[in-house]
Amino acid sequence: MAYQENIGKNLVKAASKAPYLEREKEHELAVLWAEKQDQEALHQLTSAHMRLVIAVASKFRRYGLPMSDLVQEGHVGLLEATARFDPRREVRFSTYATWWIRASIQDHILRNWSIVRGGTSSGQKSLFFNLRRLRAQITKLDKNINSHELYQELSKAIGVSPKDVATMDARLGGPDISLNAPVATDDESSTERQDFLQSETPLPDANVSDIINGERRSEWLRSILTVLNERELHIINSRRLSEKGATLEELGNELGVAKERVRQLENRAFKKLEAILTEENPAITQLI
């Protein structure tokens, strides 16, 4: 963290010392970098526009992130702008770079403002960064507007659904709360919020026990299937060990016997399996 803060401070210091660029000089440096990859031209171009980075970053202070982090992310956007800028177009580099600087800072805020990741679509970004301002404007014009009407107006202005507006409004209305935070503020209480969360999943020891028992059943089943003859084994596999169990009628047609005969063969096979299983592995009776 201290390392990142030092980087941010160094960028600010460098920005205060860098000279301003006239339009012609700016264009010249942009051409040198674009056509010849001149590192000195790149350094001069980026250093001269660090003031722009700081100015854009300062507009996002209210989101609670360190200014040094915002400046660093803005610098990343500035470097992206230098890589993409086409000096042949009659556009000032500063105008082009502003968009990339702002976009980089906004992406950083969306990633770090909350532990819950917000939407990254253009509509969701616009909602996140403009909701408070637009809500203030609308409520200033109509102080008696209710929440439903307010969300409808905001959804039209931003281009998202009223449900998205309500969800974002709720997220912006309160900070993240740690599950390790105490329920009460007095020093004597040691109860944390996570103590009230109940998991419906089995405990780890139960999971391990189920896995071991399942593997044991599978091994025993493989060993005892050898006592069945070919027809009985086919019936058990088709009826009980396949995802889509075959019907008695289907197996009867396949084997050329009545479905009642298939049921008799199946029952006989089960009796063989039960007898050999309980004889060789008495402990299995506790797991069936």
Give the pLDDT mean for 122-151: 72
CATH number of 2-112: 1.20.120.1810
If one compares 67 and 226, the residue with the highest pLDDT of the two is: 67
If one compares 279 and 25, the residue with the highest pLDDT of the two is: 25
> What whole-number distance in Å separates Cα of residue 99 and Cα of residue 72?
15
pLDDT at 32: 92
CATH number of 204-286: 1.10.10.10
Same fold flag, 2-112 and 204-286: no
The mean predicted confidence, pLDDT, of the chain is: 78
Q: Model pTM?
A: 0.49
Helix/strand/coil (H, E, C) string of the chain? Answer: CHHHHHHHHHHHHHHHHCCCCCHHHHHHHHHHHHHHCCHHHHHHHHHHCHHHHHHHHHCCHHHCCCHHHHHHHHHHHHHHHHHHCCCCCCCCHHHHHHHHHHHHHHHHHHHHCCCCCCCCCHHHHHHHHHHHHHHHHHHHHCCCCCHHHHHHHHHHHHCCCHHHHHHHHHHHCCCCCCCCCECCCCCCCCCEHHHHCCCCCCCHHHHHHHHHHHHHHHHHHHHHHHHCCHHHHHHHHHHCCCCCCCCHHHHHHHHCCCHHHHHHHHHHHHHHHHHHHHHHCHHHHHCC
Domain boundaries, the chain: 2-112, 122-172, 204-286
